[in-house]
Amino acid sequence: MKHFLMLVLSLSFLIFHSAAAQEIQTDKNRAAKVVPDAFVGKNRILINNRIYRLNAPYVTLAYGRGFSTRTEGIDQNMTLAYHHFFDWFGLRLAYHATSDLQPWWRSYNKLNDFTLGLGTRYDKHPKWNLAVFAGPSLAYGWYIAWSDVFQDERSFRFMVPGVHGEIQATYRPVYDLGVGLSVYGSYNKFYAVAGAQVHLYFSLAYVRNYD
């Protein structure tokens, strides 16, 4: 876990360092603006002499903690998600893992979620991205419970449908890179969890330099 946290902190530092360098090299009074399509193309925004695509797809990598109804305690969790957007809605494909140990380790108390979410975003402000998604999930994993057959605690495997929802708030020091907070909930009949995560945001918005 320490190595993962160091990686998150290092990436966050690089993002903010890149933002600071960009601000120094550009005019601080230059505001983000949408310019005529003839100059930069349809659905584009010009920020600091760089052209970005509006409503562009993005990827998030998240790590956090959440309360589990199965372990009745605080679990660790991580999520890798891809978000793709159309005119008025977006789709989210994600893998989410929750465990009483580090989520990348094997555990007999662990939830794996493969989720498909439908949602929307607020992307009008160049420094902020707000989004909400919800939808079905395929949940599988293991949990420890009492066995009447063996008269002892045993590990049980499950694979069931579920639901998953998430709200994201991301600060973007650079239009296509950011750091944010996610609040999520995942429910199925065997292993439900809700919590918060810190996420890194990587957008596919950059098109080219304006000049």
pLDDT tens digits, one per residue of 73-93: 888 999 999 999 998 899 999
Rounded distance, CA 32 to CA 39, Å? 15
- The answer on pLDDT for 4 being more than 70 is no
pLDDT of 33 strictly over 80: no
Query: Looking at the predicted structure, is the pLDDT value of residue 108 above 80?
Result: no
**Mean pLDDT along residues 28-44:** 56
Q: pLDDT > 90: what percent of the chain?
A: 49
pTM: 0.78
Kindly list the distances between the CA atom of residue 46 and the CA atoms of 104, 125, 143, 205, in Å, as whole numbers in the listed order.
Answer: 40, 12, 51, 11
91 vs 37, residue with greater confidence: 91
Domain residue ranges in the chain = 55-203
Confidence of residue 153 (pLDDT cuts 50, 70, 90): low
The CATH code for residues 55-203 is: 2.40.160.20
